[in-house]
């Protein structure tokens, strides 16, 4: 014969509606107290942003991209720049580097409106060709268009 487990003598019955309501009110009160407590914030990095930040992450840190050095994937992170325009920017800089942000309008598909949207996210560090003195000994020059000799003799 199997012995039955002793019971405490109480029969289990569902909690009364008043008891269930009191339990719900208690849980809500605990939740409100926990929400009102000052929670520690995520640590915020103070100081300079590391120089090693590259690619699209530069935009997250509020840094600007240089279209003369940025990879295609980084350029695609800019508004209104997709894979085709990013590839066109890379092709244009291989042909002739950009001396200023305004020169991006020579890229097919980038007009004044698109340039206005992306200009705040770009900065151009002009290459040496943009800073070199011209033949007349002036301050500097912009590189000539392909096929233009600039000598006046055609």
Burial class (CB in 10 A: 0-12, 13-18, 19+), 83: exposed
| pTM, to two decimals | 0.52
Q: How many CB atoms lie within 10 A of CB 74?
A: 20
Burial class (CB in 10 A: 0-12, 13-18, 19+), 115: middle
The least confident of 25-39, 48-62, 123-137 is 48-62
In the chain, domain spans: 69-128
Give me the architecture of the 69-128 domain, per CATH: Orthogonal Bundle (1.10)
As a residue count, the chain comes to: 154
Q: What percent of the chain has pLDDT over 90?
A: 17
d(CA 138, CA 53): 37
pLDDT in tens, 103-123: 999 998 899 999 999 888 888
Which spans in 37-134 are helix H? 57-60, 72-76, 83-95, 112-118, 128-131
The model's confidence at residue 80, banded by pLDDT at 50, 70 and 90, is: confident
* 140 contacts: CB under 8 Å, gap ≥ 6: 130, 131, 132, 133, 134
């Amino acid at each position: 014969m199997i012995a039955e487990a002793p019971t405490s003598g109480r029969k289990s019955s569902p909690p009364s509606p008043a008891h269930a309501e009191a339990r719900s009110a208690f849980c809500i009160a605990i939740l409100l107290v926990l929400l009102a407590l000052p929670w520690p914030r995520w640590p915020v990095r103070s100081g300079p942003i590391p120089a090693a930040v590259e690619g699209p992450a530069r935009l997250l840190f509020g840094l600007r991209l240089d279209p003369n050095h940025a990879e295609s994937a980084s350029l695609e992170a800019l508004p209104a720049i997709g894979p085709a325009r990013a590839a066109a920017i890379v092709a244009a800089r291989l042909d002739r580097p950009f001396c200023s942000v305004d020169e991006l309008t020579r890229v097919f598909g980038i007009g004044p409106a698109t340039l206005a949207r992306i200009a705040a996210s770009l900065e151009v560090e002009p290459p040496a060709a943009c800073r070199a003195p011209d033949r007349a000994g002036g301050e500097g020059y912009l590189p000539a268009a392909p096929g233009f000799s600039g000598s006046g003799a055609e």
